[in-house]
């Protein structure tokens, strides 16, 4: 593998990774600074981490963010997968493309507009802003992403696979649960994780729909800007980064183990 990468592209790769990771490490480095700012490293300290864990309000906000991300990703994945299968099944190419374009419009429309629209919708409908308004809007903007992640997998699937299943006497339900879903599982995972990250870091939409004591991390950090952001936010970022790293590593090993298992090889 190594031999195929030319030195030039290797240098490019290194620079790209440095560009992506240096700011994060810079941030983490200063989370251990006793000086209280981001340019003058004084002494090594764990004070910011201590402060972080004593700040119950911030912890509640972090947990809110995680719950919203998990639930909205799960629900939008379920709806998105069903939607993708529907679109895939539509025969008329005109309807299909119309639906797909409508789906894409939701992805490219600016977050601010989506957020403002949700705010207007919720106030007209009389829904109190808070947990449910945030959850609903996150589900809504994640669904188009899931659809887009799952559809390519569906169109990759050979139609003869479905015919074969039916010939062997599979019912419609069995075709979906035993053939289609296992085949598109990688797409489902991709959609789920995309939805998860979108929900975790979305600011623009969330800003409009938070309220009544419910807020998420992105909104909270943004509103700290006027007074300067405390280094305990650096500490928090460091922890979140480590946890994400850990999850990615675990995921990597799980998928590697999965690839070696013989039955999946057969399926491929």
Partner 1 sequence: MKQLIRLAVVIVAVSAILLVTISRLNASQGYSGGNTLTVYNWGDYIDPEVIDDFEKETGITVVYETFDSNEAMMTKIQQGGTSYDVAVPSEYTIEKMKEEDLLLPIDHSKIPNLKNIDPRFMDLTFDPGNEYSVPYFWGTVGIVYNTKQIEGIDFNSWEDLWDPALKNKIVLIDGAREIMGMGLNSLHYSLNDTDPEHLQEAYDKLVSLKPNVRALLGDENKLLMASGEVSIGITWSGDASEIMAENEDLDYVVPEEGSNLWFDNMVIPKTAKNIDAAHEFINFMLDPKIAAQNTEYVSYSTPNKEALQYMPEEMVNDERFYPPTELTDRLEVYENLGKENLAKYNELFLKFKME
Q: Provide the binding-site residues for partner 1, judged by CB under 8 A.
A: 36-40, 56-57, 59-60, 63-64, 66-67, 70-71, 73-74, 78, 119-120, 122-123, 127-129, 133, 177-178, 181-182, 185, 188, 207-208, 210-213, 215, 220, 222-228, 230
Sign of the CA dihedral running 18, 20, 21, 23: positive
The values of phi and psi at residue 202, to 5°, are -70, 125
The distance of closest approach from Cβ of residue 91 to partner 1 in the complex, given in angstroms and rounded to an integer, is: 26
- CA 40 distance to own-chain centroid: 34
- Structure tokens that stand for 83 in this block: 């939607």
Q: Which is nearer to partner 1, 12 or 252 (CB)?
A: 252
Give whichever of 67 and 99 is closer to partner 1, judged by the CB atom.
67
The minimum distance between CB 98 and partner 1, in angstroms, equals 30
What does the alpha-carbon distance between residue 166 and residue 27 come to, in Å, rounded to a whole number?
56
- Compute φ and ψ for 219, nearest 5 degrees: -65, -40
Cβ-based nearer residue to partner 1, 142 or 210: 210
Query: Minimal CA–CA distance to 68: which of 206, 162, 204?
Result: 206
Q: Please tell me the distance from the alpha carbon of residue 139 to that of residue 79, in angstroms, as a whole number.
A: 9
Q: How far is the CB of 22 from partner 1 (least distance, A)?
A: 17
Q: How many Cβ atoms are within 10 Å of 192's Cβ, its own excluded?
A: 22
Shortest Å, Cβ 129 to partner 1: 4
In the complex, the smallest distance separating the C-beta of residue 26 from partner 1, rounded to whole angstroms, is: 13
Query: Shortest distance, CB of residue 17 to partner 1, whole angstroms?
Result: 26
Tell me which residue of 185, 149, 172, 159 sits closest to 264, measured CA to CA.
185
C-beta closer to partner 1: residue 15 or 110: 110
For tokens 């996150």, name the residue.
Answer: 138
Nearer to partner 1, 109 or 261 (CB): 261
Q: Which is nearer to partner 1, 49 or 192 (CB)?
A: 192
CA distance 67 to 200: 10
Can you say whether residue 212 is alpha, beta or left, with left for phi > 0 and alpha for psi between -120 and 50 degrees?
left
Please state the closest distance from residue 23 (CB atom) to partner 1, in A.
Answer: 14
Closer residue to partner 1 (CB): 100 or 154: 154
Select from 73, 200, 77 the least CA-distant residue to 150: 77
Q: Phi, psi (5° rounding) for residue 214?
A: -105, 125
């Amino acid at each position: 593998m190594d031999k195929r990468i030319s030195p030039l592209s290797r240098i490019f790769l290194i620079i790209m990774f440095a560009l992506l990771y240096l700011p994060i490490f810079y941030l983490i480095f200063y989370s251990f600074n006793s000086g209280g700012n981001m340019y003058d490293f004084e002494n090594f300290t764990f004070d910011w981490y201590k402060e972080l864990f004593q700040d119950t309000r911030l912890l509640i906000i972090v947990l809110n963010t995680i719950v919203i991300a998990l639930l909205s990703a799960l629900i939008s994945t379920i709806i998105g997968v069903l939607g993708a299968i529907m679109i895939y099944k539509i025969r008329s190419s005109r309807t299909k493309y119309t639906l797909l374009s409508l789906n894409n419009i939701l992805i490219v429309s600016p977050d601010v507009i989506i957020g403002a629209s949700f705010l207007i919708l919720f106030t007209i409908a009389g829904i109190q802003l808070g947990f449910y308004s945030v959850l609903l809007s996150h589900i809504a903007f994640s669904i188009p992403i899931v659809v887009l992640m799952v559809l390519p997998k569906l169109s990759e699937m050979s139609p003869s696979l479905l015919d074969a299943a039916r010939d062997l006497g599979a019912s419609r339900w069995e075709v979906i649960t035993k053939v289609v879903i296992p085949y598109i599982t990688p797409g489902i995972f991709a959609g789920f994780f995309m939805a998860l990250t979108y929900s975790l870091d979305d600011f623009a939409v969330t800003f409009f729909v938070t309220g009544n004591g419910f807020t998420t991390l992105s909104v909270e950090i943004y509103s700290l800007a006027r007074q300067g952001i405390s280094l305990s936010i650096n500490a928090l970022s460091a922890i979140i980064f480590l946890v994400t790293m850990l999850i990615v590593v675990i995921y990597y090993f799980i998928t590697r183990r999965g690839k070696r298992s013989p039955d999946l090889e057969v399926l491929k």
